[in-house]
Amino acid sequence: MGGAIWDRFLTGRDREVFGGAGYGAYGALPERPALILLHTGIEAERRALARLACMARQAGIPVIHVLEGREDKETGPDRPQDVLPESAASDIVLNRSAPSAFFETDLMGHLNLLRADGVILAGGDTSDAVRATVVDAFSLNLRSVVVADVCFDRWEASHALALFDLDAKHSNVMDSAGVQGWLARLPGGLFALPPGAQ
């Protein structure tokens, strides 16, 4: 647990319980993950999400963008290029009206079609949409990885302690370098993505 972003927020008792209960060890990672980007619309965050999406595409991992707010009935669904100019045509775009990306969206249907057994999550807010989506993924028997340095929150304490709680209970929290190393070890050609998707 040394060097974790949440360390300075923990009490002595927290550390004792955390260590005594065996929290903090990595659980099983997904074998067929999809990347889910929870967009907040902030430019600096958009650039970080774009870099992570590029990393996923290079590894042949599907990219799913989830936007806050309902789909516009007049203009129809957003295209990937409307969300991130760097997007690929194969990227999937969904709209959410609640914190969880699973609530009243087609996310689970897409994951089933992809035969994904887990998700990689990034975006914001860490203590709201990221947390809610991870908990729902856990409830749906999906393994998850949260990319800590590509998650964002209004408050540092909320960000750090949400990551701590997710890492202890429902997810594997990793930084983007760790995710890149893990993706590099996955077999190639896991998903039959369209030509040019990578």
Question: Secondary structure of the chain in the HEC alphabet?
Answer: CCCCCCHHHCCHHHHHHHHHCCCCCCCCCCCCEEEEEECCCCHHHHHHHHHHHHHHHHCCCCEEEEEECCCECCCECCCHHHHCCCCCCCCEEEEECCCCCCCCCCHHHHHHHHCCCEEEEEEECHHHHHHHHHHHHHHCCCEEEEEEEEEECCCHHHHHHHHHHHHHHCCEEECHHHHHHHHHHCCCCCCCCCCCCC
Residue 42 forms part of a structural domain:
yes
pLDDT above 80 (res 127): yes
Residue 45 forms part of a structural domain:
yes
pLDDT band per the 50, 70, 90 thresholds, residue 143: very high
Residue 122 to residues 11, 30, 37, 47, 131: CA-CA distances in angstroms? 27, 16, 5, 12, 10
**Looking at residue 198, what is its pLDDT?**
43
pLDDT band per the 50, 70, 90 thresholds, residue 197: very low
Residue 21 forms part of a structural domain:
no
Kindly state the average pLDDT of the residues 175-197.
83
**Looking at residue 69, what is its pLDDT?**
74
What residues pair up with 64 in beta bridges, in sequence order? 36, 92
Lowest-confidence pick of 8-12, 150-154, 169-173: 8-12
More confident residue, 3 or 173: 173
**Looking at residue 152, what is its pLDDT?**
94
Residue 9 forms part of a structural domain:
no
Residue 27 forms part of a structural domain:
no
Which domain, by its residues, includes 138?
Answer: 32-183
pLDDT band per the 50, 70, 90 thresholds, residue 1: very low
**Looking at residue 99, what is its pLDDT?**
96
**Looking at residue 196, what is its pLDDT?**
42
pTM over the 0.75 mark: yes
| Average pLDDT over all residues of the chain | 87
- List pLDDT tens digits, range 16-75: 887 766 666 678 899 999 999 998 777 778 889 999 999 999 999 999 999 887 555 555
* CATH (domain of 155): 3.40.50.850
The total domain count for the chain is 1
Residue 20 forms part of a structural domain:
no
Residue 62 forms part of a structural domain:
yes
Phi-psi group of 191: left, alpha or beta (phi > 0 → left; psi -120 to 50 → alpha; rest → beta) = beta
Kindly state the average pLDDT of the residues 164-187.
95
